[in-house]
Amino acid sequence: MAILCLASASPRRLELLASIDVDCEVRPVDIDETPLPGEQPRDYVCRLAREKARAGAALSDLPVLGSDTAVVFEGEILGKPRDRDHALEMLAMLSGNTHEVLTGVAVSGPQGMLDICVTTRVTLRAISHAEAAAYWATGEPQDKAGGYGIQGRAAVFVSHIEGSHSAVVGLPLYETAELLERQGVALWMSDSAAVS
C-alpha cells in the first residue's frame, strides 16, 4: 500500500524510493521550470522541489515528495539537452572538469513543507568527441540534466565523486529518509526500531 505520493514521472526516483521499501503512488505534476531572473542554482532546485510537492499535495492525501536535480558548471545550470549538438556541447564542457549536481527535495505533510538541498561534486575524465557522439547514439542522455546519467553507461566517464551518489541519480536517500521520518512516513527499519 502506498505510503507516499511521488510528484514526479522520474523512473529513477521511483526506483530509488523502492530500494528503501517506500511504496509510492506516482502523480506527475506539470510546473514551469524556467529559472527566475538572477535565481541562484541552489534556490532554483529547492523552489522547484517545493512547487512540485505543493502541486502534488492537491492531488493526494498522502505526504508528497517533490524533487529537482540540476547539473551546474561554473555557475551555469545545464538542463536536459535540446538535441544532439547541445548534448555534445555540454559533455565537452564537463569533459576533464569537476561540476556540481544540486538536488532539492521537499516533502509536504503533517509538519508542513520540509526541504533540503544536497550538493555533490562530480569529476569526469576527458571525453573525446567520438565517445560523446557514441554515448548520444545510445539514447541514454536525451532526458538527463547535463546530458549524462551516472547510473548508466556514463559511469565510465566518472573519475571521482564527492558526496551523495544517489543524489546525482535523482534523490539523496540519506537526507530523503530523514525528511520522510520527520513527516511520519514509516521506513523499512521503523518496525525493528520499535521492537528493540
Active site (catalytic) residues: 68
Three-state DSSP class for 122? strand
Closest CA to 126 of 146, 98, 149: 98
State the Cα–Cα distance between residues 81 and 132, nearest whole angstrom: 13
The DSSP string of 52-114 is: HHHHHHTT-SS-EEEEEEEEEETTEEE-S-SSHHHHHHHHHHHTTSEEEEEEEEEEEETTEEE
